[in-house]
Amino acid sequence: MSTIAVVPGSFDPVTLGHLDVIVRAAGLFDEVHVLVVHNPEKTAFIPVEHRVDFIADAVAEAGVDLPSPLENVVVTSWSEGLLVDYCSRVGAKVLVKGIRSQVDVAYETPMAIMNRSLAGVETVFMLPDPAHALVSSSLVRQVAGLGGDVSPYVPADVTAYLQSRSDSAANTGAR
């Protein structure tokens, strides 16, 4: 039986830290579903379709440098209920989450316990590559919005997108 793992998140935007977790999960599980999910506690910045496209493009590009392409990675979104409902639909028993700090542990632990209680779905925590240990989507958005260079932290097309949003916000006076 093949093991399907889901890597869920807002990915607003996807960072190189997320990508590192996705690529490593793809080496551990038969199938990996990267799932863009609405976080009820956050207001989205990038439309879901763009977030899915950015991840799919980054995964395809990451596969080029690997011995075998990341053909076991599916990128999609979910807005029809609980995260565990998606897991049930595709037969996934595992969630994979990146953990950068104690703050992440505190944030993720109740969700992991709830998801296991709701549907028996286990959560595997993965430590980041140290190169990406301090990167977060919210910091990337903040730096880009204030005109900083985010190219070391996100895929190139995400940098270009954030740059264009920052420019148009500056042109209209909006922030």
Please say if 93 is a catalytic residue: no
165 is catalytic: no
- Strand residue runs (E) in the chain: 4-9, 31-37, 73-78, 94-98, 122-126
Of 86, 57, 74, the C-alpha closest to 154 is: 57
Find the part of the chain contacting ligand PNS (CB under 6 A) among 5-13, 52-60, 127-135, 150-158.
Answer: 5-13
8 counts as binding ligand PNS under rule CB under 6 A: yes
Which residue of the set 10, 18, 132, 166 is catalytic? 18
Is residue 98 a contact residue for ligand PNS (CB under 6 A)? Answer: no
Give whichever of 113 and 170 is closer to ligand PNS, judged by the CB atom. Answer: 113
Task: Quote the CA–CA distance of 134 and 17 in Å, as a whole number.
Answer: 9
Residue 18 designated active-site: yes
Residue 89 is a binding residue for ligand PNS (CB under 6 A): no
Q: Rule CB under 6 A: is residue 90 a binding residue for ligand PNS?
A: no
Which residue from 52, 83, 121, 162 is in contact with ligand PNS, where contact means CB under 6 A? 83
Q: Which is nearer to ligand PNS, 40 or 67 (CB)?
A: 40
Dihedral angle sign, alpha carbons of residues 18, 24, 28, 30: positive
Cα angle 158-161-164, degrees, rounded to a multiple of 5: 150
Give dist(CA 24, CA 87) in Å, integer: 20
The verdict on 114 binding ligand PNS (CB under 6 A) reads yes
CB of 111 to ligand PNS, least distance (A): 4
Q: What is the DSSP string of 116-166?
A: HHHH--EEEEEPPPGGGTT--HHHHHHHHHTT---TTTS-HHHHHHHHHHH
Q: Does residue 100 carry a catalytic annotation? A: yes
Any idea which residues carry the catalytic annotation?
18, 42, 100, 137
By CB under 6 A, name the binding residues for ligand PNS.
Answer: 8-10, 37, 39, 42, 82-83, 111, 114-115
